[in-house]
């Protein structure tokens, strides 16, 4: 999901060994995780110093915390949880600012210790210290040496929220006085973006009185199984020529794939070089990738970002932009196909064949069977399949669509069964327990004193936040809600 180049200091998320963008973030197989964006941070030149002038360790210094494997049974022992910490602005009595990046390897998120993020800006203003802690079952913070279904029994939302609480109550920080700043002695501020923003709200809801204040950016607090509305902010805010043309193509694809002759279907698949992909929902669903690129946009994104490259490919013909109504079906089909053939397939899949990269029907593929640690896509799917859903699908009949209706929740539920057969047994389409999650954490009805909530109008995840527009959650002085015109977590970092 990260297509921009990061400074030498910070490694991009999902910089795994896999070849393709698609397999790195798991999106080709159905779902893009809502990770916060890694801000660009130039490596500080020279040594950082604290306010008293003493030298600080580099912000990449790694620390380990002994975290309980099971908060319901401390006797099970502990595992090493990684964290990063700095005290550039800290003065005794200042707040301790804690964030987990959530569903990814946290190495690379050190920028969230600095003042290019709201975390560091609060620290700078309030003389606080900052901490980034890795979420259990991501990166190298694992209770067990694998991501088997037996291990993943300890990967739950209640364990994740309890981790943040236990960390705050027990950590001995390396900074001067850092063993005497537990909640009650110092004010703790919990910050999160996206899933970790939801975790901020969920932690403060389920463990009141530990964190003095919270900041939740683009927090996806409402679990939703059929999350077709992921694509609504994109449809509404993308250039209109591009949305009209995408809609025209997708309507055509659904018609041909549903009612066309075998020859018509084959010709249409081949338009994108996907003639060898056997399942039509995989072909039509793969076209979502161009729209998922929207999630990486920020208010300063311009020409050169993947999403705008796509719209330019469709809408610029012989150096001329289409008007608001686009160029129409024929041009859109040809230009979209050419973009895939010449640029996009290679970006998404590298050297992989289409079935390996984009197919979702071969349960023997390593994407489902690989249980080695530091596989963020698998750890995230576990939460998706059990607790939150967020399946990014085509809309209900009658709605304007930029995404195929051939892809519906069963498409993803089937993949949950491939990922975790030992969990779901004979159920070939297990349904996530989204209602139970919402009942437990109150979803959009979250009410927490001193929780600040920020959302972006153009965020594709907005319909899972309190600013969806489907609900009328009122901003109050004790739980302020602000909606800007930004994208996903735009308020959280500086670009």
Ligand X SMILES: *[C@@H]1O[C@H](CO)[C@@H](O)[C@H](O)[C@H]1NC(C)=O
The structure tokens listed for 122 are 């609060």
Measuring CA to CA, how many Å separate 397 from each of 228, 246, 320, 342, 393?
A: 11, 17, 34, 33, 12
Query: Could you tell me which stretch among 9-17, 203-211, 269-277, 474-482 binds ligand X (CB under 6 A)?
Result: 269-277
Taking alpha carbons only, the member of 478, 472, 453 closest to residue 194 is 453
Piece of the chain touching ligand X by CB under 6 A; list 103-111, 131-139, 268-276, 378-386: 268-276
**Does residue 45 interact with ligand X by CB under 6 A?**
no
What are the residues facing 138 on neighbouring strands? 141
User: Which residue in the set 5, 45, 46, 259 belongs to the binding site for ligand X (CB under 6 A)?
Assistant: 259
Token readout for 56 is: 């600080």
Task: Please indicate whether residue 7 is annotated as part of the active site.
Answer: no
CA nearest 87: which of 168, 9, 174, 164?
Answer: 174
Task: Among 159, 196, 200, 241, indicate the residue that binds ligand X (CB under 6 A).
Answer: 241
Residues 362-401 that bind ligand X (CB under 6 A): 362, 364-365
Nearer to ligand X, 76 or 145 (CB): 145
- Contact region for ligand X (CB under 6 A) — 54-62, 68-76, 101-109, 423-431? 423-431
70/484 Cα distance (integer angstroms): 39
CA atoms within 13 A on the CB side of 371: 15
Q: Distances in Å between the alpha carbon of 433 and those of 56, 220, 441? A: 45, 16, 13
Residue 287 engages ligand X in binding (rule: CB under 6 A) = no
**Is there binding between residue 495 and ligand X (CB under 6 A)?**
no
Closest of 103, 99, 141, 140 to residue 122, by C-alpha: 99
* HEC letters along 320-340: EECCCCCCCHHHHHHHHHHHH
Residues that contact ligand X, how many (by CB under 6 A): 38
Q: Draw the binding track, 290-329, toward ligand X (x: CB under 6 A; -: no contact).
A: ---------------------xx--xx----xx-x-----
Q: Assess 145 for contact with ligand X (CB under 6 A).
A: yes
**With respect to ligand X, which residue has the nearer C-beta, 67 or 200?**
67
- Name residues contacting ligand X, limited to 161-200 (CB under 6 A): none
148 binds ligand X (CB under 6 A): yes
| Binding segment toward ligand X, per CB under 6 A, in 70-78, 142-150, 374-382, 455-463 | 142-150
Q: What are phi and psi of 63, to 5 degrees?
A: -120, 160
Does 459 participate in catalysis according to the annotation?
yes
Q: Which of 107, 245, 459, 491 is catalytic?
A: 459
Segment 87 to 106, residues that bind ligand X, using CB under 6 A:
88
Residue 68 neighbours by CB under 8 Å, 6+ apart? 74, 76, 77, 78, 162, 163, 166
Report, as residue numbers or ranges, the catalytic residues.
194, 459
Binding site for ligand X (CB under 6 A): 88, 115, 124, 144-146, 148, 151, 239-242, 254-255, 258-259, 270-271, 273, 311-312, 315-316, 321-322, 324, 334, 337-338, 341, 355, 362, 364-365, 425-426, 431, 435
């Amino acid at each position: 999901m990260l297509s921009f180049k990061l400074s030498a200091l910070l490694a991009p998320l999902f910089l795994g060994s896999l070849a393709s963008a698609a397999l790195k973030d798991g999106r080709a197989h159905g779902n893009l995780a809502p990770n916060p964006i890694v801000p660009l941070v130039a490596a500080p030149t020279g040594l950082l110093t604290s306010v008293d002038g003493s030298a600080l360790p580099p912000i990449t210094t790694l620390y380990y915390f002994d975290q309980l494997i099971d908060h319901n049974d401390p006797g099970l022992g502990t595992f090493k949880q990684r964290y990063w910490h700095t005290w550039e602005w800290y003065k005794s009595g200042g707040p301790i600012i804690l964030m987990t990046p959530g569903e990814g390897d946290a190495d690379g998120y050190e920028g969230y210790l600095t003042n290019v993020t709201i975390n560091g800006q609060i620290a700078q203003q309030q003389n606080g210290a900052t901490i980034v802690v890795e979420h259990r079952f991501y990166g190298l913070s694992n209770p067990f040496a694998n991501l088997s279904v037996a291990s993943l029994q300890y990967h739950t939302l209640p364990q994740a929220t309890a981790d943040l609480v236990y960390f705050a109550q027990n950590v001995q920080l390396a900074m001067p006085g850092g063993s005497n700043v537990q909640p009650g002695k110092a004010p703790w501020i919990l910050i999160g973006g996206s899933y970790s923003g939801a975790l901020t709200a969920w932690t403060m809801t389920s463990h009141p009185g530990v964190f003095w204040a919270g900041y939740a950016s683009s927090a996806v607090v409402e679990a939703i199984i059929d999350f077709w509305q992921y694509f609504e902010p994109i449809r509404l805010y993308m250039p209109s020529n591009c949305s009209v043309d995408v809609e025209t193509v997708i309507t055509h694809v659904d018609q041909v794939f549903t009612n066309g002759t075998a020859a018509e279907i084959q010709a249409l698949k081949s338009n994108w070089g996907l003639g060898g992909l056997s399942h039509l929902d995989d072909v039509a669903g793969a076209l979502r990738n161009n729209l998922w690129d929207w999630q990486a946009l920020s208010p300063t994104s311009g020409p050169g970002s993947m999403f705008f490259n796509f719209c330019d490919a469709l809408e610029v013909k012989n150096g001329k932009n289409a008007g608001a109504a686009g160029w129409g079906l024929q041009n859109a089909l040809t230009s979209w196909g050419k973009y895939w053939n010449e640029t996009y397939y290679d970006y998404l899949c590298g050297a992989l064949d289409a079935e390996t990269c984009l197919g979702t029907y071969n349960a023997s593929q390593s994407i489902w069977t690989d249980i080695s640690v530091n596989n963020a896509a698998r750890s995230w799917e576990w939460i998706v399949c059990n607790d939150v859903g967020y399946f990014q699908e085509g809309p209900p009949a009658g709605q304007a669509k930029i995404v195929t209706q051939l892809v519906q929740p069963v498409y993803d539920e089937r993949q949950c069964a491939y990922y975790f057969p030992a969990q779901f047994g004979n159920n070939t389409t297990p349904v996530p327990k989204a209602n139970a999650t919402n009942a437990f954490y109150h979803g959009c009805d979250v009410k927490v004193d001193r929780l600040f909530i920020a959302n972006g109008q153009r965020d594709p995840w907005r319909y899972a936040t309190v600013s969806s527009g489907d609900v009328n959650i009122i901003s109050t002085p004790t739980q302020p809600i602000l909606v800007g015109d930004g994208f996903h977590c735009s308020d959280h970092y500086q670009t």
